[in-house]
Structure 1
C-alpha cells in the first residue's frame, strides 16, 4: 500500500530584521570602514548598501552624503582609536625616556599597523580628502611636541616653552614615526611580511633615534 508523503508548505519569507537606529548606524559605519579599506574612497555607496543588504536610500537616511559617511570613518578609525593614556606615557618622567618611547610606539603600533588603518590612511592621502592633514596635526600636538619636550629635558636642553621647537627636531621625530608607519605599508600595501616581530623593530628604531637626535637639539644654555 502506497503511503502518501506529506507536502511541506514553503516557509513564509523572513522579514528583514528591524534594528535599533543606533545599532543600524554602527553597523553601517563598521562595514564602511571595511569597504573603503578594500576599495578606497572611490568605492560607491550603492555597492556598500548592497553588501549591507539594505537600500541606498536607507543608507542615506543615516548618513545624508558620502562625505558624512567618510567623516564617520575618520572619527571611528583615526580619532576614536587614539588612546589619551599615550600622552601620559610619553611625559611620565618616573620612567626612563627610552622605555617610555618604546612603550608608546609599541602600543601605538598595535592600533595603526592593521589592514584597515594603513590602507584608509593611504587612500585618504591619494584622494586628498584633508583627513591626513587633520590627523597629523593632532599627532603633532598630542605626541610629537611632547616627545621633543621630553628629549630636551633628557639632554638638559631648553624647554620648548622657552625656545620654540625647530624644524629639524620635528623632522627627526617624523623620521622615527614614519619608519614605524612604513612597517604597515610593507605589510598591507606591498604585501611583504616582516621578518621579525614588530616590538623588536620598534625598540631598535627608538634606540637608534635617541642615539642620534641630540645632534639637532638646541645648544645647552650657559649656567
Structure 2
C-alpha cells in the first residue's frame, strides 16, 4: 500500500475507533484492530494528538460547505427560506454516527474539536443570521447595537433543537423521525414566527 493510502486508512479507521471507544481509546488498540504494529501508526502520524487533528479535518472541516455562509446572507430570499435550506443541507452532511459521537466524546474529554467547530458555526451562521434577522425586521444593525448573548442564544436554541435529534439518534440510541425534512421546516418556521417580539425587546433594553 502506498504511504498516502496507508495514512488515509489509518485516519479512516481512527474515525470509526474513536466514535466507538471515545478518545480514551489507545493507539495500541487501534493498531491491533488494523492488524499493524503500533510503531506503524507513528511512521505516518507523529502523535495521538496529531491523529486527533487529522480526524477533525477529515470528519468536520471536510463536511463544512463553503456555500453555507453566503446562503445565510443572501437577502434575495426571506430569512426563513435561507435558514430552512441551510438546516436541510446541514442534517444531510452531519447527521452521521461517527460525526456525532466524536463531537460528543470531544466535549467530554475537553479536546478542542467541539469548541473549534462551534466557533465556525457561530462566526459563519449564528452571528450573520442575527444581523440578517435585524435587517428583515428593520432593526438597528450590529454595527450600531452589537449582538449580545441573549440575542445569539435565540439562534443557538434553534441550532440546538435541530442538532439534538442527532444526539438522540446516535448517542442516546432513541427513536427519531426517519424523514427529518418536515421536522427541520417546522423548527425554522416556529422560530421565525415567534422570534420577532423577543428580539425587539432585547434590543430595546440594550438601547436604554
> Pick from 185, 190, 194: which aligns with 1:203?
185
User: Where does 1:1-223 land on structure 2 (aligned, <5 Å)?
Assistant: 19-195=1-177, 197-217=179-199, 218-219=203-204
Q: How far did residue 193 of structure 1 move?
A: 2.0
Higher helix share: 2
**CA–CA separation in structure 1 for the residues paired with 2:186 and 2:89:** 15
Distance across 1 between alignment mates of 2:113 and 2:22: 14
Question: 1:31 & 1:195 partners in 2: Cα distance?
Answer: 29
Change beyond 3 A, Cα 1:55–1:196: closer
Which protein is bigger by CA-based radius of gyration?
A: 1
Question: Is the CA contact (8 Å cut-off) linking 1:168 and 1:216 kept in structure 2?
Answer: no
Moved beyond 4 Å, runs of 4+: none
Instruction: Show CA shifts across 1:24-82 (max 9, x none).
Output: 11111111111100111111111111222211101011111111101111111122211
User: What TM-score comes out, normalization by structure 2 length?
Assistant: 0.92
**Distance (Å, rounded) in 2 between the aligned partners of 1:216 and 1:76:** 39
Q: Distance in 2 between matches of 1:85 and 1:50?
A: 40
Task: Report how many aligned residue pairs link the two structures.
Answer: 201
Q: Which moved more, 1:46-55 or 1:103-112?
A: 46-55
Alignment root-mean-square deviation, CA: 1.2
